[in-house]
Amino acid sequence: MKLIIDDGFRADLVKDAFFEGAMEIPIIKKPEKIVIPEALIPFSKRKRSNEHKEAIHFYEHDRVFAPIIMDVEKYLDEIKRFPAVISPDCSLYVDMPLCLQIANTYMNRAIGAYLQSKGIYVIPNVRWGDERSYTTCELPKKFAFLGIEKHSIVSIGTYGCIQGKEYRRYFYEGLKAMLEELEPKVVLVYGAMPDDIFEEVKKTTEFVQYYDWISSKKSPKAVFS
């Protein structure tokens, strides 16, 4: 197994990719047709799938899906058994140094672009941290949204991201910025959709909610808003 630090954060994964912005974030291309998964399954629970009808997601602790970041090729055959995969949800904590937030955005897109190059249907996961990631600040563009094409399908996760007043504010402001920047046709949401965050923005596009893994045992199907 290669170590990430040995070869420039797996630069080989994006040798055929296109890039966006001065930071050259790999692009996950807009699909020809929007496909909405009927259900989602965590990467760590993928072997529990009986019919492989779910889309794989990575809304888990980073250490759980670290193996796919380190050696994505090892999991290709497994992932190809599923109809879609959401690009990795690499953490962008609000207290994380900006350079690490950018690095994790890169890894999100790099893995997604690589899987897409292998014929897998990839839905970009959009993750932001504090306002530095979703406003221009001193950067040329909102880097949290680089590498994702407009008017497509994207996915976001609220599970564990909206606990406390400050985190809810960051999430709400970032969500509004994302909708304005990317103008997605469909937004998949993993986790709760509280009215104080989503009521206003529901008017702008189609949202499809998926309950977290434990709750989904009772309601496994998607909920359209």
In the predicted model, is pLDDT for residue 116 greater than 50? Answer: yes
Average pLDDT, the chain: 89
d(CA 81, CA 89): 21
- How high is the pLDDT of residue 217? 58
Residue 139's pLDDT is 61
pLDDT of residue 1: 47
pLDDT at res. 30: 96
Indicate the pTM of the whole model. Answer: 0.90
Distance CA 53, CA 84 (A): 9
Express each pLDDT in 75-94 by its tens digit: 999 999 999 999 999 999 88
Q: Is 108 exposed, middle or buried (0-12, 13-18, 19+ CB in 10 A)?
A: buried
Confidence of residue 68 (pLDDT cuts 50, 70, 90): very high
Per-residue pLDDT averaged across 24-32, rounded? 95
